[in-house]
Amino acid sequence: MMQAKQPIGVIDSGVGGLTVLKWLQAKLPHEDFIFIGDTARTPYGNRSREEITRFVAEMTDWLDKRHIKQLVVACNTITVLGLDVIKGNHPFDVIGMAKGSRMVPGVTKNNRVGFFATDFTVSTGAHKREIQRICPEIQVFGQGCPKFVPLIEGEKFGSPELKAAIHEYADKLREHNVDTVLLSCTHYPFVRKEIEEEFGPEVTILDPAERTTQDALENLEKRGLARTTGLGRAEICFTADLERGRRLAARMLDLSKCGFHLIDLQKDPEQPEQEGRTA
């Protein structure tokens, strides 16, 4: 039987999910988190569905051995596999990345909405279907951004290459006269400021991670598993490039609330000693 004191698992194809972990730690301050960023195999956006499914199974199996009570999928590319596929036979509930569909109606004025995502995510049509299911009158335009993840993972912040990529992809959406743009890849909030500057004040940029966090909290409360006391911490695990991951985490998180580990998903996890706390 699950208990409130068990940790929450968070998975991502790389470092982008740290932007979701930031929201989670802010809104669920009493919870412990175990984050896995699969930096050894990022990016996922140009991989096959079969490959992504296999990688996700390795992460969920690893986290199941750490006895998590909930899994938050901090990656749009993984989420579009479907929550049942991600969950498999594991006992924990799975919270996927929100598509931001419920955020859009109160923001767009001209009913023309764009989203930045990986090519894989765009190809599924999932975001367009979800937004139009809620508001059929909204026109939705997806733009694949294959250059973003390598540039962000490579810490090319402020570089001419990043600026050129943002301009290139923004131009594609400007052709459709959008007034709202969703950041439908968790890597992209790392460069949200630069994207906002490129579009200017006439276009509103939205981060669906805020809605994802609310979904996670509501699920825990419904199941009686939300922690209400203690100060939570995050165990941040990468499959490669630990120091680079730590540097990128410093852009998003309070490192005093985090520990960092390099892990091998093929081996059983070594569980560090946990501080005694009340649930």
Q: Which residues are annotated as a binding site for substrate?
A: 12-13, 44-45, 76-77, 186-187
Q: Which residues are annotated as a binding site?
A: 12-13, 44-45, 76-77, 186-187
Q: What does the DSSP assignment read for 63-104?
A: HHTTT-SEEEE--HHHHTT-HHHHHTT-SSEEEPPP-STTTS
List 75, 145, 237, 258, catalytic entry: 75
Whether 135 sits among the annotated catalytic residues: the reply is no
DSSP strands (E only) in 169-257 = 180-183, 204-206, 234-238
Reading the block at residue 232, the tokens are 């939570």
Long-range contacts of 83-92 (CB under 8 A, 24+ apart): 85/53, 85/56, 86/56, 86/60, 87/60, 88/57, 88/60, 90/60, 90/64, 91/2, 91/64, 92/2, 92/9, 92/64, 92/68
Residues 6+ apart with CB under 8 A from 241: 39, 40
Q: Would residue 75 show up in a list of annotated catalytic residues for this protein?
A: yes
Count of Cβ atoms closer than 10 Å to residue 50 Cβ = 8
Helix (H, G, I), strand (E, B) or coil at 248: helix
Considering the candidates 145, 185, 237, 258, report the single residue annotated as catalytic. 185
Catalytic residues: 75, 185
